Chain A
Amino acid sequence: MDFILNPFVTILTLLYSIFNQDMVLAIIVFTALIRLLTYPLTAQQMKSSKAMQVVQPELKKLQEKYKNDREKLAAEQMRLYRENGVNPVGGCLPLLIQFPILIALYQAVIHALAASPLSLIDLSGRLLIPGLGDVIPLENRWMGMNLSLPPDMTTGSIIAYALPVLVVITTWLQFKVTTPPMPPSEDGKPNAAASTQQTMGTVMPLMYGFFALSFSVGLSIYFIASNVIGIAQYVLMGKADFRNILPFGLGRTQTAAPALTTPTPTRRDISKGGSSTPPKDSAKPSGGGKPRR
């Protein structure tokens, strides 16, 4: 892990040094850099997610058609994926790659802030730029809290309560804004993938909120910054769908039905920015927040 951790600790300390010894600003800028570097992975994840969404109606038909012949179903599904350039695990793989980065960032924050002697002694030799050790130890106090420790609720600081809440809200927002809705089945019932997605949309923010309560304040700042930057990234690319955050699935019910009529896109369609060209009356998954007519 040192081959990731040491450069992370060095960059974080360098940013701290550049930004007038402001650790929070250093974490935010570092997060932005990480998001920028992992942009190809994010784009791949988004592309895969969209492509999977587009083939859903066709997939449903195949499942109906071959419900008694699993082998044939599997073969047809693979053909469908192949023809449309879909990698069924393409959405998870980038996430898998991003996780070591997240863990390394957490450890970098803890190591760089080094609140205890054992953490600080472990920091020696990790800084790859000569002279950077002059700023050690880094200031770990921020708004009455220690950035390397979980938020201390006993201080009565409103920030201590606000941080986990902000983590939950921004994680939920990012999930909603960046995840295209799954269309329901032809019979109008929500399909399995959609319900999985819905559950993930609830569990993940809560899980990250739990992490925010259990781990360091610095990690909470990373989560919030990462979520906000992630949303901004999607907005800048014109891919954000703010209709998903409307209550009671208002945006979704209006858009889902036409999606069923979306013809199976060709590989060429998908390769154009990762989404098919829907008919004019169909839902545009990345509507950029404009109300649909």
Chain B
Amino acid sequence: MFSRAWIARSRWVVLVGLLLALAVGCTSLPLEASWASVTLLGNPAQVLVAYADRMVMVDPVDGSVAELRDADGNVRLDEQGNPRTWIVTNSSPKYTFYTRPIEMQEDTLLVAAYESRLLEVDTITARVLNSEGHVLAGHSIASPLQNGSLLYVPLSSNSLDALNLETFETVWSFKTERGVWATPLLHEGVLYVPSMDHTLYALNPTTGEEIWRLDLGGAIAATPVVANGHLYIGSFAKKVFKVSLEGSIVAQYETSEWIWGAPAVVEDQVYVADLAGYVYALRDTGDAFSEIWSRQVALRGIRATPLVTDDYVIVGSRDHNVYWVSRESGEEVNKREMRGEVLADLLLLQPGDGTETREPLVVVSTLAREELLVAFTLVNGERRWVYGL
């Protein structure tokens, strides 16, 4: 039954099988580094989605890819006479995009590629102007922030770098213990830098000098929100904080899991979601948070900032669903199933906000390429259009 030749052969089969299993097991991790950024750009405003190897401009009315037009407004045609569309792709060198581009002067976008490069994109032709890019000191996970002639670039390599927008040389670099994964906030002459090293830093935006620092007990992956003369921010310490502009904790509230996204603040109400799928509605009473309601809305984590409207709190989850919950009670009103995890911030399009949409739409981005963007009506969650790759 077990001849020596059989054993010798089977050893090879087992060995090859095991090595294959090892190779497959070792590579069964997410291929992408992050999720899409979705933003409004241009006039009339279009939806710009940056994800993986491409950036695409989508018409918010019907989800079609925007057409390139010349100075007279005529559609540009390619060699075959087909309309040219607004898609930025690249093959060599390969860059990936997860951050929101910045609109510069003269029809130029500045986008930080994950592969440590700053690229300039011509919005008229949808072409990268500098394919080699300006070299950054580390991976770019969050969008840069422009302030006059300075560009603040958060980097995974434990720093926030301020670059000169003319020369792209480093003016100053503020070192942190871990990476900076969120866009800094500039407010009343102070630059607030959230860092994965658990600390919120306040810096002089011109010199990069530290004004104060505050340990929030866990990694901070989102930009603080400024409202009511205070900063609101969540951390991996499973807490949402209200912080004074002088750097002291005024109030805090404990959640079930890490908080990744920024809170949404509407007057004295604070809405925040955590990675256990809970949504919390809190009332800011000055020096404390009181709970209005809290509820496990989703089976898996909610990363993004809740989208708060007059009637609803809308959240997307890793469980492939988008939930509309009552802002008043927290009860589920609508639920829409998606093909992939929902991690990107939701975008609310309102008629008259620069887009040509005729009804309020909620634009959702998923990790599934066939549903990169899906637009739902705000009122009843009806699907209006889908854009997929």
Contact = CB atoms under 8 A, between A and B. Distances in A.
Interface of A: 59, 63, 70, 73-75, 77-78, 81, 88-89, 92, 95-96, 99-100, 102-103, 106-107, 110, 115-122, 124-125, 133-134, 136-137, 139, 141, 191-193, 196, 200, 203-204, 207, 211, 215, 219
A119 B14 contact: no
Nearest to B178: A137
B271 interface: no
B171 to A, nearest CB: 24
A77 B178 contact: no
Interface stretch (B2-10, B59-67, B84-92, B326-334): B2-10
Most chain B beta-carbon contacts within 10 A, residue among A92, A102, A121, A125: A121
B141 A117 contact: yes
B10 A92 contact: yes
Interface residues of B, number: 51
Interface in B7-21: 7-8, 10-12, 14-15, 18-19, 21
Interface in B215-271: 217-219, 221, 236-238, 257-258, 260
B33 interface: yes
A78 B1 contact: yes
Given A118-B35, A192-B4, A196-B11, A103 B26 contact: yes
B26 A215 contact: yes
B33 A117 contact: yes
Given A99-B21, A117-B141, A193-B8, A124 B3 contact: no
B29 A107 contact: yes
B194 interface: no
Interface string B162-192: 0000000000000000110100000000000
Contacts of A74: 1-3
Given A136-B218, A137-B196, 4 more contacts: A95-B14, A117-B33, A124-B257, A203-B15
Contact of A102 (B12, B22, B30, B181): B22
Contact of A124 (B7, B178, B179, B258): B258
A77 B279 CA distance: 67
A208 to B, nearest CB: 9
Contacts of A110: 29
A225 B72 CA distance: 67
Contacts of A211: 22-23, 26
B48 to A, nearest CB: 19
Contacts of A100: 25
A191 B8 CA distance: 11
B17 to A, nearest CB: 9
A59 B34 contact: no
B154 interface: no
Given A92-B14, A99-B21, A118-B32, A133 B3 contact: no
B320 interface: no
Interface of B: 1-5, 7-8, 10-12, 14-15, 18-19, 21-23, 25-26, 28-30, 32-35, 98, 139, 141, 156, 158, 178-179, 181, 196, 217-219, 221, 236-238, 257-258, 260, 275-276, 301, 303, 318, 343
A203 B19 CA distance: 11
Contact of B2 (A78, A107, A141): A78
Contact of B218 (A106, A116, A134, A207): A134
30 contacts: A73-B3, A74-B3, A88-B2, A89-B2, A96-B14, A99-B18, A102-B25, A115-B156, A116-B30, A116-B34, A117-B35, A117-B181, A118-B33, A121-B275, A124-B257, A124-B258, A133-B218, A133-B238, A133-B258, A134-B237, A136-B218, A137-B179, A139-B178, A192-B5, A193-B4, A193-B7, A193-B8, A196-B8, A204-B15, A215-B26
Contacts of B258: 124, 133
Contact of B33 (A92, A106, A116, A137): A116
A205 to B, nearest CB: 12
A155 B111 CA distance: 25
Contacts of A116: 30, 33-34, 139, 141
Nearest to A200: B15
Contact of A136 (B34, B156, B158, B236): B236
A136 B260 CA distance: 13
Please name the 8 residue pairs, one residue from A and one from B, whose CB atoms are nearest each other, closest first. A103-B25, A116-B33, A124-B275, A88-B2, A118-B30, A117-B34, A74-B1, A196-B8
B4 A122 contact: no
A207 B20 CA distance: 11
Contacts of B178: 137, 139
Contact of B219 (A89, A95, A136, A141): A136
A100 B22 CA distance: 8
B303 A121 contact: yes
A192 B10 CA distance: 13
Contacts of A99: 18, 21-22, 25
A211 B24 CA distance: 11
A62 to B, nearest CB: 9
A293 B196 CA distance: 63
A212 to B, nearest CB: 11
Given A78-B2, A95-B18, A117-B181, A134 B217 contact: yes
Contacts of B28: 107
Nearest to B142: A117
A75 B3 CA distance: 10
Contacts of A103: 21-22, 25-26
Contacts of B318: 121
A164 to B, nearest CB: 15
Contacts of B19: 207
A207 B23 CA distance: 10
Nearest to A81: B2
A133 B236 contact: yes
A200 B18 CA distance: 13
Contacts of B22: 99, 102-103, 211
Contact of B8 (A63, A102, A120, A192): A192
B259 to A, nearest CB: 10
Most chain A beta-carbon contacts within 10 A, residue among B2, B10, B34: B2
